[in-house]
Amino acid sequence: MKKRFGSTDVLYLTTIASLFTLLLTTAVSVHVADPVPDQDTPARPDITQPFITQQVTATAYCPCEKCCGQYADNITASGKSVWTNGSKFIAAPSYMPFYTWVIVPGYNDTAVPVLDRGGAIKDNRIDVFFPTHQEALEWGVQEVTITIFHPSNEE
């Protein structure tokens, strides 16, 4: 016997479709994991805040004199040490306040904070930090599309 779709079947299918959409929406939303525990670690980003994306030129740097010259003191412009957030952070132009959280593809899986500044860092330029000069050389200079979240309210 061939069963035809009744109104309960339609309701059932609609529910399944809604659940699937919900699942899909959840899957594509940005997941930001807890940063590595560190006494210098700023607050995690508030991922419920709106965000924008921007194409930038990302240049690698490390704490050495070659990269930082007279500022090679292991302290970023924000006053935080270079070991903050597991040494995963960036230098960005001042339109991104300190503790703005940014996802840089290829650099880190999760968002990293803006902790540093630099003379050459303006417009669409950022610097990504690496603990060693060798790692910085391996990154070099890359064009990436970053995701910028609103600054955290707390340090």
Interface residue list for Zn ion (CB under 5 A): 62, 64, 66-67, 133
44 versus 133: smaller Cβ distance to Zn ion: 133
Nearest distance in Å: CB 29, Zn ion: 36
67 versus 90: smaller Cβ distance to Zn ion: 67
10 versus 64: smaller Cβ distance to Zn ion: 64
Nearest distance in Å: CB 123, Zn ion: 23
Nearest distance in Å: CB 48, Zn ion: 37
Q: Burial letters for 100-132: b for 16+ Cβ neighbours within 10 Å, e otherwise?
A: bbbbbeebbebbbbbbbbbeebeeebbbbbbee
Two tokens at 116? 């540093």
Nearest distance in Å: CB 144, Zn ion: 20
Residue 151 DSSP class: P
The candidate with the shortest Cα–Cα distance to 81, out of 54, 116, 105, is 116
Q: Which residues contact 100 (CB under 8 A, 6 or more apart)?
A: 92, 113, 114, 148, 149, 150, 151, 152
6 versus 140: smaller Cβ distance to Zn ion: 140
